Homo-oligomer: A and B are copies of this chain.
Amino acid sequence: MSIKIGIMGYGNLSRGVEAAIRQNPDMELAAVFTRRDPATVKVRTEGVPVLSESEILDWKDKIDVLVLGGGSATDLPVQTPKYAEYFNVVDSFDTHARIGEHFGNVDAAAKKGGKVAVISVGWDPGMFSLLRMVSDAVLPEGKHYTYWGKGVSQGHSDAIRRIEGVKDARQYTVPVQESVDKIRNGETPEFTARQMHTRECYVVAEEGADKARIEKEIKEMPNYFADYDTTVNFITEEELKKNHSGLPHGGFVIRSGVTGLEKENKHIIEYKLQLDSNPEFTGSVLTAYARAAYKLSKEGVSGCKTVFDIAPAYLSAKSAEELRGHLL
């Protein structure tokens, strides 16, 4: 009997989850829920019903885990606590500053309903968090660095698109090689944001728009660009489509620590991701944690969990014997 997964929403991330489910023979996609008119949503897995979000509670006993594909700004703060009472759920909530609050809300709902909720799953937060945490425990005297890219930041691309005169845009976050080399070399400096990443923007301007003003607005935008060395390239719509239509991403977490009675020995732990498709990889991580939520729920566990709280074996379709035999 396979694990029945429901997906809320059908954007890039949800499609990534849909594709991942097909690679996991112990799972099946049971239904997709949408706020749009279901008739307008065509899913790529044959025979899977698309339903209005308003019907979701009818699926309470027909779905083992509900994966929430929405965004952290407005969708997940509402949806995850709302549905954690009725379903085992997994989300990719990534607003770091609000994780404590989100955890509390979701935990209360999941405990009330006797369900398992796994929040903040993906690669950062998610896999990168796992690596930061385990490396911090193993090398308690040290420092960690997180680099993102080279890859497309959807938040920064959206911020550029909101500028007047911008038709479309794509922003790449790029690690500064010079600072990376220092860390890999065993140094543990304090870096400013500017020393760690640069921002490369590809912008399609509307006809007649003032490009100098657009460039200035981008470069001076607080939080997003002002603290970075930012380059702005104006390109045509065709170039954007041809050269910048993918959503590659990646990055790396490095922990540099010392051991020894005199702290004389250095150790460097590095975890690196190179992803052709950010939403498909994130969807794959969500899918593995959906399996964990299912297994934990079967064991009678309830409440909110993060990647820190789940033993790795729960992520796998393989038995404990297989894991010990082939992967230990």
Interface residues of A (CB under 8 A from B): 16, 19-20, 22-24, 44, 96, 99-100, 103, 120, 125, 127, 129-134, 136-141, 259-261, 264-277, 280-281, 283-285, 288, 291, 306-313, 315-318, 320-321, 323-325, 327-328
Contact = CB atoms under 8 A, between A and B. Distances in A.
Contact of A133 (B22, B264, B270, B327): B327
Nearest to A184: B274
A308 to B, nearest CB: 4
Contacts of A280: 259-260, 265, 267
Given A23-B141, A100-B321, A310-B311, 9 more contacts: A19-B261, A44-B261, A100-B324, A132-B327, A137-B288, A137-B315, A267-B277, A308-B311, A308-B328
Nearest to A266: B276
A320 B285 CA distance: 22
A16 B259 contact: yes
Contacts of A270: 270-274
B261 A22 contact: yes
Specify which of A127, A133, A310 lies most central, judged by the most chain B CB atoms within 10 Å of its CB.
A133
A71 B131 CA distance: 28
A309 B285 CA distance: 18
A61 to B, nearest CB: 27
Contacts of A306: 324, 328
A266 B246 CA distance: 12
Given A260-B277, A311-B308, A313-B133, A284 B139 contact: yes
A138 B315 contact: yes
